[in-house]
Structure 1
Amino acid sequence: MSIAPAAVSSGAEAAEWIPDGPYNLAGTVGTLQCGPHDPSFIVQGPDRWLAFRTSDGPVTLALRQRGSLNDSRIQATAWGPGAARALESLPRLLGAEDDWSAFDSPRFRAGLPELARKGRYLDPGLRLPASRRMLDTVARAILEQKVTGLEAKRAWRYLLTRYGDAAPGAGDSAPAALRLPPTAEQWRRVPSWDWHKAGVDSKRSATILRAALVASGLERLASLPGGEAVRAGLRSVPGIGVWTVAEVVQRTHGCPDSISVGDYHLAAYVGAALTGRRTDDAGMIELLEPWRGQRQRVVRSLYSSGFRKPTFGPRLSPEDHRRR
C-alpha cells in the first residue's frame, strides 16, 4: 500500500492511498456512519464526507474510490486546521492495519462456516477501520444502549445538529448539513430538556456526561494498540459495559475479535446463520469459539453473505422517553 500527496485546489490538502489487494471503501468505512442521516458522515454520490476533530483541530474529509475492486485507489481531500493530521492517519482510518491474511489462508478458510466463506467471497475488499476517535465513538455507542437503532440514530442526529459545530468549509461541493460531533465541553453543556427531546433517558445521558468528564483519558487510549488495556480504560467509566466496549473498539481500533455480547439481535442472528436456530449470548460465544481471534471478521463475513435470520417473535419497540 502507499499514500502520496495529490494535486488539489487552493484551501485544501489531498492525498491518494493505494491499498494492497481488493478494497471496498463503502463497506469499510460504512460502520463509522450512524445511520443514513448522520450529520458527521454524509454520503453524496460517490463521495463519503466525514467531519471530526484531530489533535490539530477540526477537519472535513472527502473520500472517493477510483478504479476497480482489485485495482483501486482512494482519493482523499481535507479542509480545516486538522487536514494534514487527518491525511497522515488516513491509511489507518481506511483499514490499512487490518490484516486478513490469516483469515484468508486456505487452511483457515476451509474451517469456516459456509456462509462466512460466501460472505468473504462476495466482499473480499472489506477491512475493519480504525478511527481512533474515542469520545465520538463512545458517545454514539452509549446512545445505542438498550434502544432500537432508529431511536439511537435519531438522538445522534438531533444532538449533533443542535450542539455540534459546522464542519470546516469545503467549498460548494460539500454537504451543507455536515457537522462536527460535540466536544467534551459541548456534551457537558447539553441541558436535561434537550436530552429529553432527543429521546435519551437519564441513564444514558449520565454515562455520556461521565465519559465527557474523562475525555482526555479516553483519547489517550487511542494511542494504545488495543487489547485489555483499552477495554479496562473504557470499563472504568460507570455505565460502559462489555457491549459498549465491543462496539467502540470495533470502530476505534479495528478489533478483529470483539463481538457485541448483550446485543438484542446478534446472538439470534449468529445462531440462525450457523445452526438454523436462535441462540443466546452464551450459545453465540460457544459457536464462535473455534475462530477466537477472528470472531468479528467471522460475524462481518456472515453479514456480507446476505443471510437474514427469520423474523419470528417480538421486536424491540421504540420507547418515547420524551413522554416520561
Structure 2
Amino acid sequence: MTRTATRPAGSRASADRLARLLNLVPYLLARPGIEIAEAAGDLGVSERQLREDLELLWVCGLPGYGPGDLIDMAFDGDRVTITYDAGIDRPLRLTPDEALALVVALRMLVETPGVANREAVERALAKIENAAGDLVGAPVAVQLAGDTERAETLRATVERGRALRITYYTAARDETTERTIDPLRMLSVGGRAYVEAWCRRAEAVRMFRADRIDAVTELDEPAVVPPQARAHDLTGGVFRPAPDLPLITLRIGRGERWITEYYPCERVEAGEGDRWLVSLRVTDLGWARRFVLGLGPEVTVVAPAELAEQVRAQAVAALDAYASPAPASPEPAPAP
C-alpha cells in the first residue's frame, strides 16, 4: 500500500496490544511462575504495560463471563502463573455458522476503504474460505453502504498514487466546482465512502464524499502531498466544529430533539414547555438556512438575526410562489 494506507497511531497501538494479548497466555502457560520483569523484557514492553495487560486479561474469557469462564492467574510477589486459560490452549474449531460469519466479516473488511495491509486480510480470508469448503459458495454478497462504483474507482486510483481532477458538488454552498486533488487515503465514515486529499484549489486537506464527485479524471502525474498536510482525526466524525464557524441557536420542539444526537451541539437547554434551546456550529449560513427550512414549523431561529431574516425571506418567497396562479395553457389551434 502507499502512504494513503497509513493508520493513526492509536489504531496501531490497539492492534499491537491485541496481538500481544493473544500471545501472552500461551507465553505464560509455557513459563509458570515467571517474573514480570523478565516477561516484560521478552515481550518488549514496560512492566507497567505488562501489568495493565494482565489486568485486562483477567476480564477476558468465554461467553457467559462468570468466574469459571474468565482467564485466571496467580501472583506470588513479582511472579505470575496462569491458573485457568479459558480454553485458549486448545486448537480453534469453528462451527459452520461461525465460519460463515467470519468469512462475511473478512469480506466486509476487504471492501472497507482505507484498510491497511489489505493483502494480509485477503490471505487470511483465502485460508478460512479453503477450510470452510462448501460454505464459500453460500449466497452472501458483501457491500458497504455508500460503496458505489465511483468509490471503487477512487479506491483503485488512490492505491496507484495518482493525482485526480474532479468535479465536486459542495452541499454546504450548493455549488459545483472543478478541483485537482492529491489523495492521501480512502476511508468509510458513517456508512459513506470518502477520499481525503490535498486540494490544490483550497491549499488544504479536504474530505470529498464519493457520491458527490460527479466526474473524476486520473492524471498522468503522481499525487504530491505537501509535507505540512496531515490526515484528520475522524474519531468524532467528519464535521469538526471550530470556534471561527458561525454559531446558530434554535428553539426546537419535541419532534426535532434528534438534532442533539445527530449533530455536535455546544449547548442544549430546556426552555418553556417541551421546547429546547440548541446552539451548534455550522459550515456557513447558507447551509443553515436550508437546514432550518427542512425541519418544519416547530423550529424557530433565535440567533443570529441574519439567519432568521434569510429563513423568513425564503419562506415568504415560497408562499408567494404557491399563491400565484399557474399560467394558463394555450388553447390548441382549431383543426383546418
Q: Which has the larger radius of gyration?
A: 2
For Structure 1 versus Structure 2, the TM-score category normalised by the shorter chain is under 0.3
The structure richer in strand per residue is: 2
Normalising by structure 1, we get a TM-score of 0.22
Structure having the higher helix fraction is 1
- What's the TM-score, normalizing by structure 2? 0.22
Higher relative contact order (CA 8 A, sep 6+): 1
